[in-house]
């Protein structure tokens, strides 16, 4: 994954997400931009800063923990997906196939657009793949928590994030497999 693009995306998210939400939905719903900014700082930026501090002040612990972090991360993602889906099961049933279809199309268009833009810009295959995944795999947990916290008056607002929490794990695995298969046939 291209660390620079991921870092820029992460740093800009607390500012751009509330502003874009205000611009795109502010006429229809009340948007608490300051509250959203704070929520994103707590959910995204605070854990990153905590990680930097732990790495800096406890390097021996960090070296010992690193081999276990992928498994820990997988367990935490699974737990988040299970929580999101279980809390939204009844809403998922009433949201229906239209929401699932829109989420799938949104995700696939992000994956495809990211790859296509990398190709148009003449980037290497590895960078195209990284951008494809970066654009296609956005933070569904953040979307769901922002919807639950800041749009509680709209109970269906959490549904797309909940569906995406499940779907992006499926599509991400499929795209990774596709990229691996293409790489194997090219060598």
CATH number of the structural domain spanning residue 128: 1.20.1530.20
| Residue ranges making up the domain that contains 72 | 3-186
- The answer on pLDDT for 89 being more than 80 is no
Average confidence score pLDDT of the chain: 82
pLDDT, tens digit (0-9, with 9 covering 90-100), for 119-157: 999 999 988 888 888 788 776 777 877 888 888 788 778
Q: Return the DSSP state at 115.
A: H
- Rounded to an integer, what distance in angstroms lies between the CA atom of residue 135 and that of residue 9? 10
What's the structural domain count of the chain?
Answer: 1
- Rounded to an integer, what distance in angstroms lies between the CA atom of residue 10 and that of residue 40? 10
Structure-token pair, residue 78: 């699974």
Residue of 143, 145, 54, 152 lying closest to 107 (CA atoms): 143
pLDDT, tens digit (0-9, with 9 covering 90-100), for 25-74: 877 888 888 988 898 888 888 888 998 999 999 999 999 999 998 888 77
Q: How many helices (H) and strands (E) does the chain have?
A: 9, 0
Determine the average pLDDT of the residues in 103-114.
Answer: 89
pLDDT for position 149: 83
- The answer on pLDDT for 1 being more than 50 is no
Residue 80: exposed, middle, or buried by beta-carbon count in 10 A (0-12, 13-18, 19+)? middle
**Cβ burial 141-166 (10 Å sphere, 16+ → b, else e):** bbbbbbbbebbeeeeebbbbbbbbbb
- Rounded to an integer, what distance in angstroms lies between the CA atom of residue 93 and that of residue 75? 26
Considering only CA atoms, give the Rg of the chain.
Answer: 18
């Amino acid at each position: 994954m291209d660390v620079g693009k991921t870092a820029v995306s992460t740093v800009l998210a607390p500012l751009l997400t509330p502003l874009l939400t205000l611009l795109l939905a502010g006429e229809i719903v009340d948007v608490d931009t300051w509250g959203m900014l704070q929520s994103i700082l707590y959910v995204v930026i605070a854990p990153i800063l905590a990680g930097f501090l732990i790495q800096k002040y406890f390097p021996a612990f960090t070296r010992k923990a690193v081999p276990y972090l992928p498994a820990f991360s997988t367990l935490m993602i699974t737990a988040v997906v299970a929580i999101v889906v279980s809390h939204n099961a009844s809403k998922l049933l009433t949201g229906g196939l239209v929401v699932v279809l829109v989420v799938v199309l949104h995700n696939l268009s992000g994956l495809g657009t990211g790859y296509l833009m990398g190709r148009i810009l003449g980037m290497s295959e590895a960078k195209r793949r990284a951008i494809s995944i970066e654009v296609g795999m956005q933070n569904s947990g953040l979307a769901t928590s922002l919807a639950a916290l800041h749009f509680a008056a709209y109970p269906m607002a959490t549904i797309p994030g909940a569906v995406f929490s499940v779907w992006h794990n499926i599509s991400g695995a499929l795209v990774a497999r596709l990229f691996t298969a293409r790489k194997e046939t090219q060598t």
